[in-house]
Structure 1
C-alpha cells in the first residue's frame, strides 16, 4: 500500500535555539509534504556555532533501543538521512541503521558534516574522518562541502581549484560507493564573486553545476537546509539538476531575506520568512550541464 506522504528518518542533533539540524530539517521537509521521523543524536540548548556554555545531552546510549523499537513495530522509510555525528559510535549506529532499514527502493543520504573553511570542527579528528569514509560507502547520495570533500580524499584545501580537478574529486568520491556526489561551497576558479554546487551522477557520468553570487555572511544551518530541500525535491520526483536548482535557490533566498536585518547571524537564517517559497513553481533557470 502506498503511503499518502513520503517518510524520512532524520538522524541529527536537536538544538533548542538557533536554526540548525532538526530545527531546520523538520519544518523544511514538512513544508514539502514529507513526514520527518527524527532520531535525535543529542539535545543541546543552542547549536555550537557561535554560542558558549551551552548544555549538551549525549543520546548515543539511547539510540539503539530507540531504533530497535522502530524495527519491532515495522516502520519503513522512503529515505534515511544523516547529518552531524558526534562520535565514532554514532557513525557505527547510523551504519547499522542503514543495514536494518535500507533497501533497494529507499534513498540513503549522508551529509558528512566534519568541517568548513579548510578546517575540521573541534569535535572531529582523523579517526572520525576515516570512519566517515566507511559510512559514505553505504550512501546513495553524499553532500560534503568543499572542506569535507578534501578531507574525505586526503587532499589539500585550495581555493583556486580548477573545474577539472573538482570533477576528478567527484569521480573519486563516487568510486568510494555513492551513486551521486554533491560538493557544496565550491569557490569559483575564475575569480568571480560566485560560489557553486557541483554534482556528479555515476550512473550516466554527468556533471551538473548551479552557481550563485557569494554573500559575505555566515549563517549556521544552511548546509542542513540545502540537503533537506534536496531530499524533499527528490522525493517529490524531481530530477537531480532540478533538485539542485531548488536547493540553491531556496538557501540563497533565505540568506538574502536574512542578510538585510540587523540581528546575530549565529541565530541562523530567518527560515520562517521563506518557508512558503518551497511551494512556489520551480524556476529551472540556473543549472548547467558540464562537459
Structure 2
C-alpha cells in the first residue's frame, strides 16, 4: 500500500547552478519521502562563493505574499526548515510565516538554521542578528543548527571553554525554549585536523554530546544546508522522547559519504584533482556537492560517528 508523503516547507536560498539552500534541501528531502514546498529567499545564478553572481533577493513582502497564496489553498505541513536569508526584512517575514504555521499546527516540527557567517566573518546583513533573536524569543523553534560563530552571535558572547558552552546551551534551552541544539561545527581550539559537532537536548540530565569529525582538504559550500535537510528528517522520524544522538550520527555519516564522493569527483578538464577556493569560479564549479550522484545514501541508516561527553581543550589532543 502506498502511503502519503509527509509535507515540509523549506524557506531558504535558490541558485540556478550548483547546490546550496533549497537546491540541496528539495532533492535530498524528496529522496527521503517528503513532499517539499520551496519558498526561495533569493534567486541567484550561482552561490556567492564564485566571486560573481546575478539575480534577485526576495523581499519580506514577497515572502509573505507567497505564503498568503499557500494559505489560500489551505496547504498544511508536518515540518518547517528555514535557512539562508540575506536581511532582517526577510528574516522577520520568515518568522511571521513559521509562527503562523506553529499557531495553526502546534505539533509541526521547526528546524531553524540561522545562516549568518563562519569563522568570524558575517556574510549577511548585521541586522539579521537581532531579528533572529526576536524570533527565538517567541520560544517556538524546536531545533536550531548554528555553527559556533552563529551560536556566539545569538547568545551574545564567545564560547571558549566548557563553562561558556554550558552557559550558551542554557540560553538556547531556557531563555529561548529550544528543545534540541546542534552546533554543526565547534572547537575550543584551532586544531586543523578535526572539529566537533555538539548536540544537546532540553530537560536532559546529560551533558552535551560531541562528535569528532576530521577536516577535509578542500572547501565545499552547501554542507550546512545538506546537514539541516538530513537532520530534520532523521529527528522527525525519531520515536517521541528518544535521544537525538543517533539521528545526528546518521546525518553525519551520510554527509561523510557525500563529501567523499564530491572530493573524488573534484577534478579539472585534465582529470587533475582540484581544491575549492572562495572567489575562484573554476574550482568552485568543480567542487559543487554531488547531490544527485549521492542519491542512494540519503535513506541509509548507518551511524558511524560515536559521541563523547567530554573533549579536551588542548589543541594537541
Q: TM-score, normalised by structure 2?
A: 0.82
Deviation at residue 113 of structure 1 after TM alignment: 0.4
Q: Give the match for residue 245 of structure 1.
A: 249
- Output aligned runs, 1:95-174, within 5 Å: 95-102=95-102, 103-121=105-123, 123-125=124-126, 127-137=127-137, 138-156=140-158, 161-174=160-173
1:14 counterpart SS class: strand
Aligned residue among 256, 260, 265 for 2:260: 256
2:262 counterpart SS class: helix
Which sits farther off after the overlay, 274-283 or 91-100? 274-283
- Output aligned runs, 1:1-291, within 5 Å: 4-52=4-52, 54-60=53-59, 61-102=61-102, 103-121=105-123, 123-125=124-126, 127-137=127-137, 138-156=140-158, 161-177=160-176, 178-187=178-187, 189=189, 191=191, 193-206=193-206, 207-237=208-238, 239-260=243-264, 261-263=266-268, 265=276, 266-267=284-285, 268-283=288-303, 286-289=306-309
Deviation at residue 172 of structure 1 after TM alignment: 2.0
Inter-CA distance 284–251: structure 2 relative to 1 (3 Å threshold)? closer
- Structure 2: how far apart are the matches of 1:39 and 1:257? 29
Determine if contact 2:42/2:85 at 8 Å carries over to the other structure: no
2:66 counterpart SS class: helix
Q: Which runs of 5+ in 2 are unaligned?
A: 269-274, 277-283, 312-317
Deviation at residue 205 of structure 1 after TM alignment: 4.0
Determine if contact 2:211/2:305 at 8 Å carries over to the other structure: no
Determine if contact 1:170/1:200 at 8 Å carries over to the other structure: yes
Deviation at residue 169 of structure 1 after TM alignment: 1.8
Inter-CA distance 222–25: structure 2 relative to 1 (3 Å threshold)? same
Deviation at residue 130 of structure 1 after TM alignment: 1.0
Determine if contact 1:6/1:35 at 8 Å carries over to the other structure: yes
Inter-CA distance 72–200: structure 2 relative to 1 (3 Å threshold)? same
1:76 counterpart SS class: coil
Deviation at residue 225 of structure 1 after TM alignment: 0.3
User: Deviations for 1:200-255, whole angstroms, at most 9, x for unmatched residues?
Assistant: 10132432222221113220100000010001112233651111111111222222
Q: Give the match for residue 271 of structure 2.
A: none
Inter-CA distance 197–71: structure 2 relative to 1 (3 Å threshold)? same
Q: Which runs of 5+ in 1 are unaligned?
A: none
- Structure 1: how far apart are the matches of 2:305 and 2:45? 40
Determine if contact 2:198/2:211 at 8 Å carries over to the other structure: yes
Determine if contact 1:258/1:269 at 8 Å carries over to the other structure: yes
Deviation at residue 189 of structure 1 after TM alignment: 4.5
Inter-CA distance 116–70: structure 2 relative to 1 (3 Å threshold)? same
Structural RMSD (CA) = 2.2
Q: Which protein is bigger by CA-based radius of gyration?
A: 2
- Structure 1: how far apart are the matches of 2:163 and 2:260? 30
Number of residue-to-residue matches in the alignment: 283
Higher strand proportion: 1
Q: TM-score, normalised by structure 1?
A: 0.89
